[in-house]
Amino acid sequence: MGELVADKFLRDAVVNSVNERHREIINTNIDKYSLAFERGKSKFFDLENSKKKAHLMKWKTIENLERYLLDFETNFTKNGGQVIWANDAEEARQEIAKIMARHQAQSVAKSKSMVAEEIELNRYLEKQKIEIFEHDFETPLDTSAEQLTIEAGELLRKKYVRADIGISGANFIIADTGSIAITENDGNARFTTSFPKVHIALAGVEKIIPSINDLDLFWPLLASHGTGQNLTAYNTILSGPRQEHDADGPEKMYVILLDNGRTNVLEKNDQRQALYCICCEASLNVCPTYQNIAGQTYDTSYKTLINSLVPSNLNSVSELKHPAYASPLCGKCFEACAVDIDFLRLALLNRRDSVQQDLVSKKEKRTWKIFAYIVQRRGLIDFFSGKTKNFFLQNFFKKTWGPHRKLPKLAEKSFAKQWKERGDQ
């Protein structure tokens, strides 16, 4: 499975990297994001201090994860909601199925959720013959498109009203109030959580934050780094099912807290900070690799390096180790991160794990062993002429280098020989 995913990544990367139209679309969108990102960051009085504060806040939370999750469960239950703990994707899907059977649900209104993608919820619901209403409203490009968007929106609203269950994600889980916080720009999640009689929120256990007051820090960081906004258009805090004084909202509300291997990451002291991520995707947009291949090439729910590191521990390093190897280690991801996660260290540790777990092919291991042996012996490097070295490169490494790149041409004389010759002059 792992090699198949990695091989597909390499094949798609080769195709997308030379697709001029694909690159043009990516560059246009990245340019727009970059301008908005710079404007968004400029609104902070001291951005670096805010990022450090957020990092420390997430460190405190992850180090005391069990305590804060139990606080959330206690407070959310007091509000009339129900918390369900899911160890893995299959368990999460089965819990959703039980809720749907309990309420005799035949239709689902669904808003964007990375966790839903992680557990492949759409595929599961389709197999169960469940009708799914899901749409991300986009900005129209012309008047006719705008009219179509309005008409589609009106039709979708009618469907949302009659949906049996609404399923959403959660950007943050708030311990002290027993609430979830959802941030969005299209209003789709509000339809999902307001009209259906039953609301199911899906969230990874790492989304927990200690206090509702912490949103004062995390919401602006998420907005500025995600879309360059001061604040996203819709920010919603939900603390349970509808109360007597509420005008709308579900009669029943469930929060499914998903582990799916996150506690495996928690066990690793040197990789634990992967769980600090707030999914702003700033690191994604500044990554030179992503800017060239982008999209579904990564073949993961989480396309950023940081979020690809987490699922690699959820499933197996072999399945999703390729994003760490695709990282150029240029440091841009660290500079852009809203919570100061050390991406470079995590990428190197992910690579280390793949080697230690014997997930690297024998051919690759043999090649690097020979390379390490040679480069540590100056006599061997200087023994062969530049012409001989270029012959070996062209005949033995051309396919490895890829069909669209030219291999570098080595100098006729090694650096050491040239240095000696210059010293004699």
Q: What is the DSSP string of 349-394?
A: HHHHHHHHTT-S-HHHHHHHHHHHHHHT-HHHHHHS-HHHHHHHHH
Residue 424 has pLDDT above 60, yes or no: no
Residue 423 has a pLDDT of 74
H/E stretch holding 416 reads helix 415-424
pLDDT in tens, 126-137: 998 888 887 654
Per the CB < 8 A criterion, the answer to whether 40 and 282 are in contact is no
Pick the residue with more confidence: 367 or 149? Answer: 367
Q: What is the pLDDT averaged over residues 176-201?
A: 91
Pairing mode, strands 165-168 and 107-110? parallel
Question: What pLDDT does 325 receive?
Answer: 76
Neighbouring residues of 413: CB distance < 8 A, sequence distance ≥ 6: 385, 386, 421
Encode pLDDT of 275-300 as tens digits.
999 988 888 888 888 777 766 656 55
On the question of pLDDT at 331 being above 90, the answer is: no
> Do the beta carbons of residue 360 and residue 354 sit within 8 Å?
yes
Write out the H or E segment, with its range, that includes residue 237: strand 234-238
Q: Per-residue pLDDT averaged across 225-239, rounded?
A: 90
- 134 strand-pairing partners: 110
What is the structure's pLDDT at 212? 97
Predicted local distance difference test score (pLDDT) of residue 78: 96
Report d(CA 29, CA 77) in Å as an integer: 43
Q: What is the DSSP letter of 149?
A: H
Question: What is the rounded average pLDDT of the residues 321-349?
Answer: 84
- Summarize pLDDT for 18-51 with one digit per residue, the tens: 778 877 888 888 888 888 888 888 889 999 999 9
Residues 361-396 pLDDT 10s:
787 788 888 888 888 888 887 888 888 888 888 877
Residue whose structure tokens are 């690159």: 23
pLDDT value of residue 318: 46
Q: Can you read off the two tokens belonging to residue 37?
A: 């990102």
Query: What is the number of other CB atoms lying within 10 angstroms of the CB of residue 243?
Result: 10
Inter-residue contact 337 to 52 (CB < 8 Å): no
> Poorest-confidence range of 28-32, 193-197, 208-212, 419-423?
419-423
Question: What pLDDT shows up at residue 311?
Answer: 47
Q: What are the boundaries of each domain within the chain?
A: 2-42+264-356, 47-260, 373-424
User: Which residue in the block uniquely carries the two structure tokens 């009708």?
Assistant: 131
Higher pLDDT residue, 190 or 425? 190
Superfamily of 47-260 according to CATH: NagB/RpiA/CoA transferase-like (3.40.50.10420)
For residue 338, name the pLDDT band (cuts at 50, 70, 90): very high
**Helix (H/G/I), strand (E/B), else coil: 425:** coil
Q: Which two tokens stand for residue 72?
A: 């959330």
pLDDT band, residue 182 (cuts 50/70/90): very high
Is pLDDT of 172 > 80?
A: yes
312 has pLDDT over 50: no
Per-residue pLDDT averaged across 58-67, rounded?
Answer: 96
Identify the residue with better confidence: 366 or 9: 366
pLDDT above 90: percentage of residues in the chain? 33
Q: Is the pLDDT of residue 14 over 50?
A: yes
pLDDT confidence of 176, banded at 50, 70, 90? Answer: very high
What would the pLDDT profile of 237-249 be if each residue is shown by its tens digit?
A: 999 999 888 888 8
Let me know: does 314 contact 196? Beta carbons within 8 Å.
no
pLDDT greater than 50 at residue 2? no
Task: Reduce the DSSP state of residue 255 to 3 states and report it.
Answer: strand
Q: Are strands 198-204 and 165-168 parallel, antiparallel or unpaired?
A: parallel
Q: Is the pLDDT of residue 1 over 70?
A: no
Confidence check: pLDDT of 303 > 60: no
pLDDT greater than 50 at residue 144? no
pLDDT bucket at 341, cuts 50 / 70 / 90: very high
